[in-house]
Amino acid sequence: MNYDLTDLRLFVAIAEERNLTRGAARAYLAPSSASHRLRRLEEALNTSLFERQTRGVALTRAGEALLRNARQVLASIEQMHANLSPFATGIRGHVSLWANTHATHTFLPDDLAGFLKRHPQVSVSLEERTSAEIVVAVANGEIEVGVLADSGTGAGVELAPYRQDRLVLIVPAGHALAGRGRVGFAEVLDQAFVMLHAGSAIHTFTTNAAAALGRHLDVRIQVRSFEAVCRMVGAGVGIGLVPRGAALQVAGLSEPPVLVELDEPWAQRDLQICVRKGAVLTGFAAALVSHLRLGAGTATV
């Protein structure tokens, strides 16, 4: 097949504009040149990508499939450029770090800031992933370092302590549970919940905990951050479950929620540093792990 990145960018532009002339303009090409490139692309793929209509073009089934893949290819190239650009500016090292939602929104921002101050020649890319995804990526050698919830050692990885934390119940001030010292999870399942978005580890974990009791959560609203959970709960929308570390970080809210201990053994949600079993880490990755492990010796919440 004979086509290049210019062809893919042109194709995406035409597909998004639903018009060859406007797509050509986005790709900085003359309409005649764009038409020629599109014809060559369709010949290379041996299929039609667009249906020509009176007022523009529409994707064929093959075109829809190519659009999905072309976007992924172009996104990967942009990520490659982003990963390589630090080297052009004199940064001599790069570490990719995957972490779960809990770590990303609580302890890691401060710890990474401290690491980067001590190592100005290093850049770090942080991606938020589930603990299961992190274990697989580390075991397969896709990344060197991950931070995840303590869910047992997966095959091919080693875990080291990072931070201790617990899930706590948060309720609005004046709520019937606000005066309680501790509460069991089963006692609150009739309440409306403010939850982190579906797909997040804590959403899945909490939903499964309710299912184990033969119950379903009444999820009133889903949001994208622990801070948003705390704000919604403080405003009286419902109750929520968040790590204590996250709740303490937003204590300055105008309507802060009240923290109530969750009387469940699974509420302990310790964070672990994850590396490949037996792997020799690169210098900067090893330095990052050492820095994070120093955090394990600081005061816990």
Structure confidence by residue, pLDDT tens digits, 44-82: 999 999 999 988 999 999 999 999 999 999 988 887 877
251 and 178 fall within a common domain? yes
The CATH number that applies at residue 263 is 3.40.190.10
Domain boundary among 87, 104, 121: 87
107 and 80 fall within a common domain? no
126 and 184 fall within a common domain? no
Q: Which residue has the tokens 């120093």?
A: 294
213 and 246 fall within a common domain? yes
Q: Supply the pLDDT for residue 81.
A: 77
262 and 120 fall within a common domain? no
Q: Supply the pLDDT for residue 299.
A: 43
186 and 262 fall within a common domain? yes
Specify if 30 maps to a domain: yes
Alpha carbons 143 and 130: distance in angstroms, whole number: 14
Instruction: Answer whether residue 153 shows pLDDT above 70.
Output: no
Distances (CA, A) of 216 to 58, 205, 208: 43, 13, 9
145 and 66 fall within a common domain? no
Per-residue pLDDT tens digits for 19-31 = 999 999 999 999 9
123 and 205 fall within a common domain? no
Alpha carbons 63 and 80: distance in angstroms, whole number: 25
Domain boundary among 71, 87, 103: 87
Instruction: Answer whether residue 154 shows pLDDT above 70.
Output: no
Domain of residue 43: give its range.
Answer: 5-87
The CATH number that applies at residue 68 is 1.10.10.10
Tokens found for residue 90: 């004199």
Tokens found for residue 237: 């929308």
184 and 128 fall within a common domain? no
> Count of domains in the chain?
3
Task: Return phi, psi of residue 152, to 5°.
Answer: 95, 145
Quickly list DSSP for 216-243. Answer: --EEEEEESSHHHHHHHHHTTS-BEEEE
Specify if 61 maps to a domain: yes
Angle value at C-alpha 223, between 219 and 226, nearest 5 degrees: 105
Per-residue pLDDT tens digits for 235-285 = 999 999 999 989 988 767 888 899 999 999 999 999 999 999 998 998 899
Quickly list DSSP for 31-62. Answer: HHHHHHHHHHHHHHHTS--EEEETTEEEE-HH
Specify if 158 maps to a domain: no
